[in-house]
């Protein structure tokens, strides 16, 4: 993928203002809505079983996030997911905390089995546990590395038959054949809760405007990482509160020139 294509995709999100339907967790709801608005997308959170199918059908993408699961919300996710699948609306899954409890692991795997998931985005432990491996995880945060994350992302994409976005210091985006390794990002992102969840919804916004899910996800991850780097530069030596606000500002302000100058990724053909 060319750098210019990534800048064009950002312009398309801002021009098309896609509606992103989120069924997400109670920790990150407000941050996710504000992050999508800052980027130029249009967020909606809707959970009731009576309305989720209608909302999912009219959305540009549906984001399912299992961060604070409840039985009724799982049913809503299945209803919304099936409606989205029937209407060609891409569904993106964030398996928050998969591997930490049996309920989370089983629910993430059930959503993968019963729905057509276009992209799954998680940390290494979450991706491993959804793919049937047993990497350690502490609550919702990735545990110590248990192996080669590149190999894990590729094998998970093949096994789950979907695009995998595995995030951490470097991010790996792969469909099992082509892989992007994105070097952008900043450690301050780990000091603000919900930055992984917001990234999943930002991927949703890009997927709503670009049918090639691999390119959409790679563009979203790269832009997100560059915005974080600029925000961290502006707030150097200050705390996470200041960074959180400046990061939202940079999702709004980031332009094509910043992107071309700072984006850093490599593309690999796997087989």
Q: Does 194 bind ligand TZP (CB under 6 A)?
A: yes
Q: Which stretch binds ligand TZP (CB under 6 A): 25-33, 176-184, 205-213, 237-245?
A: 25-33
Q: For residues 169-207, b (16+ Cβ closer than 10 Å) or e, as one string?
A: ebbbbbbbebbbbbebbbebbeebbbbbbbbbbbbbbbb
Q: Does 35 bind Mg ion (CB under 5 A)?
A: no
The size of the chain, in residues, is 271
Integer Cα distance of 31 and 247 in angstroms: 11
Site string for ligand ATP, 163-192 (x = CB under 6 A): ----xxx-x-------------xxx-xx--
Integer Cα distance of 20 and 39 in angstroms: 12
Chosen from ligand ATP, Mg ion, ligand TZP, none, partner binding at 42 (C-beta under 5 to 8 Å by type): none
Q: How far is the CB of 251 from ligand TZP (least distance, A)?
A: 15
Integer Cα distance of 131 and 113 in angstroms: 11
Q: How far is the CB of 91 from ligand ATP (least distance, A)?
A: 18
Backbone angles phi, psi at 99, to 5 degrees: 100, -25
Pick from 1, 27, 37, 46 the residue near ligand TZP by CB under 6 A. 27
Strand arrangement of the beta sheet that strand 91-94 belongs to? 42-45, 19-23, 61-65, 91-94, 119-123, 163-167, 171-174, 178-182, 265-269
Q: Does 197 bind ligand TZP (CB under 6 A)?
A: yes
Is 190 part of any known ligand binding site? no
Q: How far is the CB of 36 from ligand TZP (least distance, A)?
A: 14
Number of other residues whose CB lies within 10 A of the CB of residue 269: 7
Q: Which is nearer to ligand ATP, 28 or 33 (CB)?
A: 28
Strand partners, 83: none
Q: How far is the CB of 228 from ligand TZP (least distance, A)?
A: 13
Is 101 part of any known ligand binding site? no
Q: Does 28 bind ligand TZP (CB under 6 A)?
A: yes
Site string for Mg ion, 49-88 (x = CB under 5 A): ----------------------------------------
Chosen from Mg ion, ligand TZP, ligand ATP, none, partner binding at 27 (C-beta under 5 to 8 Å by type): ligand TZP
**Secondary structure of residue 263 in the 3-state scheme:** coil
> Shortest CA distance to 153 belongs to which of 86, 110, 217?
217
User: What would the two tokens of residue 125 be?
Assistant: 């432990």
At CA 22, angle to CA 90 and CA 252, rounded to 5? 95
Is 194 part of any known ligand binding site? yes
Binding-site residue set for ATP: 121, 167
> Binding residues for ligand TZP, per CB under 6 A?
25, 27-28, 67-68, 96, 140, 193-197
> Binding residues for ligand ATP, per CB under 6 A?
123, 140-142, 167-169, 171, 185-187, 189-190, 195-196, 199, 224-225
């Amino acid at each position: 993928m060319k750098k210019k294509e990534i800048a064009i995709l950002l312009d398309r999100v801002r021009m098309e203002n896609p509606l992103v339907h989120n069924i997400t967790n109670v920790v990150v709801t407000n941050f996710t809505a504000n992050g999508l608005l800052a980027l130029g997308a249009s967020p909606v959170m809707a959970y009731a079983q009576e309305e989720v199918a209608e909302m999912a059908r009219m959305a540009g993408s549906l984001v399912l996030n299992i961060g604070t699961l409840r039985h009724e919300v799982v049913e809503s996710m299945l209803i919304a997911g099936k409606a989205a699948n029937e209407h060609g609306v891409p569904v993106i899954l964030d398996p928050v905390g998969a591997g930490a409890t049996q309920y989370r692991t089983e629910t993430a795997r059930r959503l993968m089995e019963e729905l057509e998931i276009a992209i799954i985005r998680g940390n290494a432990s979450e991706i491993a546990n959804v793919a049937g491996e047993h990497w350690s995880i502490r609550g919702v945060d990735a545990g110590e590395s248990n192996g080669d994350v590149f190999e894990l992302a590729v094998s998970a994409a093949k096994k789950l038959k979907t695009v995998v976005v595995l995030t951490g210091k470097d991010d790996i985006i792969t469909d099992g054949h082509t892989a992007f390794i994105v070097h952008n990002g900043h450690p301050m992102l780990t000091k603000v809760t919900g930055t992984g969840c917001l990234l999943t919804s930002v991927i949703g916004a890009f997927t709503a405007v670009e049918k090639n899910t691999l390119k959409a996800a790679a563009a979203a991850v790269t832009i997100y990482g560059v915005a974080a780097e600029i925000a961290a530069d502006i707030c150097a030596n200050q705390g996470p509160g200041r960074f959180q606000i400046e990061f939202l500002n940079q999702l709004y302000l980031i332009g094509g020139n910043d992107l071309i100058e700072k984006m850093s990724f490599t593309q690999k053909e796997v087989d």
